[in-house]
Structure 1
Amino acid sequence: MQHRATVMMVGLFALLGPLEAKAQAREVLNPPGLAPLVPAYSVAIRSGDQVFVSGMTGMKPGTQDIVDGGVAVQTRQTLENIRTAFKSGGATMADVDECTVFLTNMADYAAMNAVYIEFFPVNPPARATVAVSALPRPAALVEIKCSARLPRR
């Protein structure tokens, strides 16, 4: 009976070994120009073969200023910021599996979507778009968060 318990424990450790290694592979990504502006915030996280990008806005890289020009301009800058964050984790926009878009005005959906399509022209990721009463950056009209799975090399 003791032999069986030992074999089971060895088997359990063999299974946990890769899980533990994967958990240790978590890396905080803060690309230049997109440094976090608030405590308890990471621009992106790479965990195993996944990259998670936090909610991004149309902030000009290296500043705390939201770009001027309306929701289309902000959406473009937001997605450029997301592209930069993914690149720091080894992913591309083609690797994105899902996004969530937050709009302060659902009437801006068409303008946001027209720009969004440019970044995901083929096989777009799964997406939800929701209206919110406000975003943390007062001038922000759109915020987008995404996740991607790194391609097998």
Structure 2
Amino acid sequence: MKNSILLILAIPLAFGSCQQPKAEHISYIASKEFKKSNLPFSEMVIVGNLMYLSGQIGSSPKNPMVLVDGGMKNEARQALENIKTLLENNGSSMENVVKCTVMLADINEWSDFNAEYIKYFPENKPARSAFATNGLALNARVEIECIAVLK
């Protein structure tokens, strides 16, 4: 009898623990300047405390459809500045970047890219993947996408 009562009391507990976890809130982020470009993606998506940044190229902050002049080093610097600004404007910083994926138009510019990259990550270096590709947006030399944690 005791076992039957315990079983009856345990059933609601068992089914209650099988509920689906609540979905995290998702925020789609796009600055005013970015929205003007009418691109088919967000600059960043925040899920819980993770920030997923779309690939950033060395485009002007005032006009995302125009690259800065000067080749790889200037484009890399501007792409990293764009990442830094996006993070800082949304509650994080470069110190909270945990993963970067780097796409290079020419793998021979690897060292020029790294010369700029290490300035932005002097201490805690994020995990990173990199590869050469062709056909980056606006004929960019580099594109960088990152994942960061909210502060």
Assess same fold via TM > 0.5: yes
Contact 1:102 1:142 in 2 (8 A): yes
Aligned residue-pair number: 143
Pairs within 5 Å for 1:1-153: 1-13=7-19, 16=20, 19-20=21-22, 22-23=23-24, 25-35=25-35, 37-39=38-40, 41-63=41-63, 64-138=65-139, 140-151=140-151
Q: Which letter maps to 1:150?
A: L
Structure 1 residues 96-146: Cα deviation after superposition (integer angstroms, max 9, x where no partner): 0010110000111111100001111112111111000221222x1100000
Root-mean-square deviation (CA, aligned residues, Å) is: 1.7
C-alpha distance in 2, partners of 1:67/1:37? 20
User: How far apart in 2 are the matches of 1:52 and 1:126?
Assistant: 14
Give % identity.
31
- Give the TM-score normalised by the residue count of structure 1: 0.85
